[in-house]
Chain A
Amino acid sequence: MTTTPTEADGPDGAGTDELPAPAAPGGGGRAQRVIAYVFGRLLTAAVSLFAVIVAGFFLFRILPGDPVRAMTEGREVTAEQREELRRQFGLDQPVWRQFLDYAEGLLHLDLGVSFQYREPVVDLILERLGPTLLLAGTGTIIAALLGLFLGARAGWNPGGRGDRVNTAVALFFWSVPTFWLGLLLIVLLASGRGFMPGLFPTGGMVDPGLTGPVERALSTVQHMVLPVTTMVAVIYAQYLMIMRSSLMDEKGADYLTTARAKGLRDVLVRRRHAVPNALLPTVTLIFLNLGQVVSGVILVETVFSWPGLGQLFYSGLEVPDLGLVQGLFVVFAASVILMNLLADLVYPLLDPRVRP
């Protein structure tokens, strides 16, 4: 068993560090400091969001290709028909004018209209949000639980057999291309080749033609198995690795010696004392990933034809459907910014050491 040297900065959670230097210079109560902190975070988030909106608009205009040409490619259209499309999409306006229109729309939470779907982008996003939250949410939760669970054990006995096997397996899946893994699962478990029956559907979310809510729910669960498995396999490694290293940091801490001295069994020392403290760094990771839940898992949604936001984004990129991709870009970025903001605000509540 190896012992990892730590900086021993985590004495049993009950922080003696809780109290920072008494009262900041220049006075000001604690409430004031909290307000300043919160306000600072909100301001940062707002600035990021603004930058994202501007960058997103111009970024997608640099994309090569012309939406009207791409949409009419191979079709027998006249120059007049193309002009009419350009006019309908607002592409006949100068870019600054298009930006002003877009920015004005954003103020009313109007993200514009998709070229290829000819529907308001907001409607399209709302339609796809549910499926994405269901798939990516389930996948993230399972991956986090699995990763944290395995990581805690791996980190408790680093270099041991369990650690080596689990880390290797997790890193293997982490490095496997999502697309390939998804297709492999489809071939093995869904397509019914050879003697293997097709156990799960190859794609989609619900079998068409089902009307009863129970039937639909069961069908959805059935359709979720393969995509969720793929997603979990690919992402659980990051939770495992963070938890593992975090626990290794805690291992040498004095409070664990105390716990052992009380006569606790090894497994209880880990569960009751080490793990709760080691969980803190993973909170940031979880919040970061929650932000990305909205953007879905583009590759998983694509290979399993899951009708979510990731697949919507994929379908918009080929055209390029400027209205759609820039709208989605803003929503994706906003959700990451929002979750980061939440993490910044929640973290001090969880860890007294970083309180303002």
Chain B
Amino acid sequence: MTQHRPPSGTLLRRTVASTGALILVGGLSAVPAAAEETDANTLTVAIAQQVDSFNPFTAQLAVTTNILRHVYDSIVTVDPETNEPAPSLAESWDSSDDGLTWTFNLRDDAYFTDGEQLTADDVVWTFTTIMENDAASIASGNYVAGFEEVTAEDDQTVVIELSEPQATMTALNVPIVPRHVWEPIVEEEGEDFSDYAGDDFPTVGSGPFVLTEHARGEHIRLEANPEHWRGAPGFDELYFRYYSEKDAAVEALRSGEVSFVYELTDAQATSLESTDDIAVNIADGKRFQAFTINPGAETQDGEAFGDGHPALQDLTLRQAIVMGIDNEEIVQQGANGQAVAAGGYIPPRYTDFHWSPEGEEAILDFDPDAANEMLDEAGYDRGDDGVRVSPDGDRLELRMHVHSDRPDNVQAGQVITERLADIGIEIDNQTVDPGILSDALYDAEYDLIFTGWTVNPDPDYVFSIHTCDGLPTEPGTMQGDAYFCDEEYDELYEAQLSEYDHEARAEIVHQLQEILYREAVVNVLAYPNIMEAYRTDQIESIQLEPTEGGNIWGQDGYWAWWSAQPAEGGSAANSGGISTGVGIGIGAVVLVLLAGGAFLFFRNRSTVEDRE
């Protein structure tokens, strides 16, 4: 009965064998793949964020706005040497004395990649579309908020009339699109324009790169535009490859599969620093890390809401809290030294706008003894458990909401909890999901809460959110992030908006920061460093923005990828490590052995049993 059947177990053995073969083939196929990648000089960036849209009117996530910055020129950019506004499509500009009429003179050698010249008409149409079409205002509506009318005086002259002064006129980071391509699309899509994905590749733009391919969740490909008026980029192609996990992206940098990784943690940067052929760039922070204190949330009509601790409406208590915290300790404990202890609101990389309390202004320096004294005098007596009670009889037990997804915030939260205990304040540390934190903020159901902003070269926006207009019209609709409202602040804010003299404006900006500091609602702790790394055997040189202490990812211009030069014989390392056929063969065999190990183990045993 057993004779005519195939030997038992054949099927299984075949399966194991073919799996092994598959693995072998997979491993060996690395060789031709590696050979192929050597001819083009390619720069590969590891990214994680998804593509919302390549429609420059609606794309708003960091990855897409960043990529589109390389595809479409803007009229002005930032000079990487000086951090000042610099010519781009506009060679020069001028404003009327009242600052309400702006004239931009465009260069005459800018062409779109389909050969059409870029003229004033394209600029006018782009701005006007953003102003008039709600669906097209998603990405850049903030830049045209004060625009009255945009007209073309001739092919190379654009005139913008403002209804109110606007500080960002020399920071108009708006992608200028070809009218002849986009006007038909806007007309055809109508109401649905916001859903138009802008994925007709290759994209027609005037920037230094052309968008040619998007494999969702896999990669995005850009090709150099050799005809760009600023000169051809150093690399022929630019790949943005998806790595959902930052640790995996770091390993891909080690293996050479990617050339550049950004937003590293301190641990990742430290481990990469000692690796051959990898350069770690530690840049001055653009972001500030802060916590705000609920000063008693109100709507614009003065209706109080939320459940902030009532004692926090007292300026003395708020100031004492700030004096109880040592920002230097936050930097050391929270960020492992990879940050700068904060003074004012604007990070020091923006030298003109940065303000730091000094001398008599520095009323809130770390001084727990003085803080204790202030609280004693103001009638905050300590209870039996050492925790103070407000003059109104409320125990000073304060909730503190901390982003659980930001390790530096979590660490800083622990430091703050300890320090505030020293001055008789008990902290209920709530380290939570960003979503929960955001709900607590907008419902004003918090006492202390963490926040942070990335500050642009023009700081207008981060100040605008603390004007009284930033208060919610009804609970939950706040524009800002602190329920801050101060008349003097609002007057100064208006003044800086219409002050076009850089130095005079910087002076007002300093005063704004002093008010924020003094009122102790928005309390800046530190400016975390930017940490990123690239392979020096793939990228020979790259322009930072600004040149001193600047960053590579998230520049306001396209300097980094436009300027990057490939290393000699560089992209060879693109292949994924030292992929010698021998090494691969060995690795694959090891895997097969592992997979089949148990099988053999049993085979032998059962044979022995059978023999018995």
List the B side residues contacting A161 at CB < 8 Å: 605
Is the pair B245, A305 in contact by a Cβ cutoff of 8 Å? yes
List the A side residues contacting B50 at CB < 8 Å: 116-117, 315
Give complex CA distance A301, B51 in Å.
Answer: 18
Q: Please provide the chain B residues from 1 to 33 with a CB less than 8 Å away from any CB of chain A in the complex.
A: 2, 8-9, 12, 15, 19, 22-23, 25-27, 29-30, 32-33
How close is B116's CB to chain A, nearest CB, in angstroms?
Answer: 28
Give complex CA distance A193, B103 in Å.
Answer: 57
The answer, yes or no, to whether A175 is at the interface (CB within 8 Å) is no
List the B side residues contacting A284 at CB < 8 Å: none
Give complex CA distance A204, B456 in Å.
Answer: 33
Q: Please provide the chain B residues from 204 to 261 with a CB less than 8 Å away from any CB of chain A in the complex.
A: 215-219, 221, 239, 241-245, 247-249, 251-252, 254-257
Q: How many residues of B contact A (CB 8 A)?
A: 89
List the A side residues contacting B610 at CB < 8 Å: 265-267
The answer, yes or no, to whether A162 is at the interface (CB within 8 Å) is yes
Contact of B438 among A66, A118, A218 (CB under 8 A): A66
Is the pair B439, A66 in contact by a Cβ cutoff of 8 Å? yes
Is the pair B257, A66 in contact by a Cβ cutoff of 8 Å? no
Dominant SS at the A interface? helix
The answer, yes or no, to whether B602 is at the interface (CB within 8 Å) is yes
The answer, yes or no, to whether A76 is at the interface (CB within 8 Å) is yes
Contact of A197 among B442, B454, B584 (CB under 8 A): B584
The answer, yes or no, to whether A352 is at the interface (CB within 8 Å) is no
Is the pair A205, B254 in contact by a Cβ cutoff of 8 Å? no
Residue of A nearest to B579 (CB): A197
Contact of B244 among A162, A191, A267, A311 (CB under 8 A): A311
List the B side residues contacting A198 at CB < 8 Å: 254-256, 576-579
Is the pair A79, B438 in contact by a Cβ cutoff of 8 Å? no
Known: A79-B477, A210-B36. A200 touches B27 (CB 8 A): yes
The answer, yes or no, to whether B580 is at the interface (CB within 8 Å) is yes
Is the pair B8, A70 in contact by a Cβ cutoff of 8 Å? no
Q: Mark B17-58, 1 if CB is under 8 A from A, else 0.
A: 001001101110110110011001010000000111100001
Known: A145-B15, A218-B33. A312 touches B26 (CB 8 A): no
The answer, yes or no, to whether B141 is at the interface (CB within 8 Å) is yes
- Quick check: which of A36-44, A48-56, A220-228 contacts chain B, the rest being far away? A220-228
The answer, yes or no, to whether A302 is at the interface (CB within 8 Å) is yes
Is the pair A219, B2 in contact by a Cβ cutoff of 8 Å? no
* Known A218-B29, A307-B242; further 19 A-B contacts with Cβ < 8 A: A76-B456, A78-B145, A79-B477, A81-B141, A116-B52, A146-B595, A150-B602, A183-B245, A183-B251, A190-B255, A200-B30, A202-B576, A203-B243, A203-B245, A203-B249, A208-B241, A210-B36, A221-B25, A223-B26
Binding site for A on B (CB under 8 A): 2, 8-9, 12, 15, 19, 22-23, 25-27, 29-30, 32-33, 36-37, 40, 42, 50-53, 58, 60-61, 134-135, 137-138, 141-142, 145, 194-195, 197, 215-219, 221, 239, 241-245, 247-249, 251-252, 254-257, 433-436, 438-439, 442, 453-454, 456, 461, 477, 479, 576-580, 583-584, 587-588, 591, 595, 598-599, 601-602, 605-606, 609-610
User: What 6 A-B pairs have minimum CB-CB distances, sorted nearest first?
Assistant: A65-B435, A198-B577, A192-B577, A307-B217, A218-B29, A64-B435
